[in-house]
A and B are shown apart, each in its own frame.
Chain A
């Protein structure tokens, strides 16, 4: 049964069926939450490629998301080359465009800065993220600090959801296949021991740049989805905190586990809503306090994150099938 989900088409149908349940059984508030979860899933999975698999720490992911969001916002309000019935197709093309724009930015950012390591890389990517945000603030074509309003979106929840699911599966299976290829081995070798990888002939900077570009592509797509779902974006949606949010998801889910990232994205996005009664009772915003505390505790108690490098399917193999055999 688990193996069936390794087939993209079957998993698409499965996840779409889940969406159908949400379409009819829940109200708009929860539906919007589900859409935000899909955006965060994309963010977490793409960051996991850099942070979990390649072992490089990037804190500028919100910047790439911003580039994607602004590209889509501009494109879908200014360019109408397809009839209105084919809106979904044009959105898909614009999402690819956003991804490519973000990937280009990722290349430009990555090429010089990925020669740095650890702390420095984190701080430089943070710097690039902030520079992107400040530049957006100063661009009057894109609305500047007022933001970009009236971005066309999908007509109903199910359309938005299917669009998001399509992209999540593209992201998931792309990264899945890449990690099984020689590039994937290169990424892992960079994470494990950079000097050893270099001396066995892996082009470590090249590997890092590849991971970074692929990751920023999907972050750009996540930004595009975000723009369509909220219909309004402004530079303050893409601050340092948004990047940290993605990092929290990757770390909590497990650095190097894609299903872990998805689970953490679902958990981290829905936790504040679950905490709302507590928040009203105490009158303070406890969300970030709990996140940060759990981040520290996870790092001390389980340094690789909750799932470690295991996927859900590995857990299935490890526990369920073993117990069936015995």
Chain B
């Protein structure tokens, strides 16, 4: 029982990191109807950006909440600039191209970032600087609640609440929802879809930047291919919750994090990576729109 509670805590902490990345997938899908394969590599670049900034400012020497905030902001900045560049240079020229071409371009961008990263940062894993001290806040028998898990949870919940506010309470969010519903009608009503799409990329990438610092804090080993697997899982989480649906992404990510933790704990860790795809295939076959998604009929 105590083990179970511990796995529950770990699973929620993992799930909230997946949620931050899944939100980027789901937002871009909601607005452009494309899977941004490069999103997980934006996250990787964010981790490296935070790594180099921590080194440049000597933040590794004094861990604490202040340095966490600096790293979060700088990583968000790096990621949003990268996201904006990707949108402008690779996706915008293909706005009206067939879906297959956009998909192949997205894979190309993803590979470019991964292997460009290997050429630039080197293929060896780096150790992410210690942002905060990890200590046990609360312990009950075997169950330990660590400060990292709490920080991850707090930061990601804050980020998600911010996103919620942005989408449902601001004018910009209204414009985003309008473009997502119908871009051409929105442009008739005075919304510039290109700007809104660029803004969506910025927001999604910034969330990936938050995720990258949290992951770097919790699992302090970063390398240029780190985005591959976590991106896949975050994507599965987005599909599981119903892609294009912001709340669904969070729900799906929590389910993913929990089930993965349970598989590792009670079955075998070798099946960990197959689990994500198993869930994905089951979802797509039995409930293609995901848990919270809406079905839509294709019109000719």
**A123:B235 contact, CB within 8 angstroms:** yes
**B112:A289 contact, CB within 8 angstroms:** yes
Q: A113-B284, A123-B235, A127-B277 are in contact. Are A57 and B100 (CB under 8 A)?
A: yes
Residues of B within 8 A of A130 (CB): 273-274, 277
Cβ of A111 to closest chain B Cβ, rounded Å: 10
Identify which of B76-84, B91-99, B159-167, B255-263 touches chain A: B91-99
Docked complex Cα distance between A138 and B271 (Å): 9
- B120: nearest residue on chain A (CB-CB)? A284
Give the size range of A's interface with the partner: 35 or more
Q: What count of chain B residues pass the 8 Å CB interface test? A: 42
Residues of A within 8 A of B276 (CB): 127
Q: A118-B100, A288-B115, A289-B112 are in contact. Are A124 and B281 (CB under 8 A)?
A: yes
**A127:B107 contact, CB within 8 angstroms:** no
Interface residues of A in 133-166 (CB under 8 A from B): 134-135, 137-138
Docked complex Cα distance between A130 and B273 (Å): 8
Cβ of B96 to closest chain A Cβ, rounded Å: 11
Identify which of B34, B97, B119, B235 contacts A289 (C-beta below 8 A).
B119
Interface of A is mostly: helix
| Extra 18 A-B pairs, beta carbons < 8 Å, given A113-B285, A244-B107, A284-B118 | A119-B103, A122-B35, A130-B274, A131-B278, A137-B270, A138-B271, A196-B300, A199-B300, A240-B228, A251-B104, A285-B119, A286-B119, A289-B119, A292-B108, A296-B90, A296-B105, A296-B108, A299-B105
Closest 6 CB pairs of A and B: A127-B277, A295-B108, A288-B115, A292-B111, A292-B112, A284-B119
Q: Which residues of A contact B (CB under 8 A)?
A: 51, 55, 57, 112-113, 116, 118-120, 122-124, 126-128, 130-131, 134-135, 137-138, 195-196, 199, 240, 244, 247, 251, 255, 284-289, 291-293, 295-296, 299-300, 303
Q: Which residues of B contact A (CB under 8 A)?
A: 34-35, 90, 93-94, 97-101, 103-105, 107-112, 114-116, 118-119, 123, 228, 235, 239, 270-271, 273-274, 276-278, 280-281, 284-285, 288, 298, 300
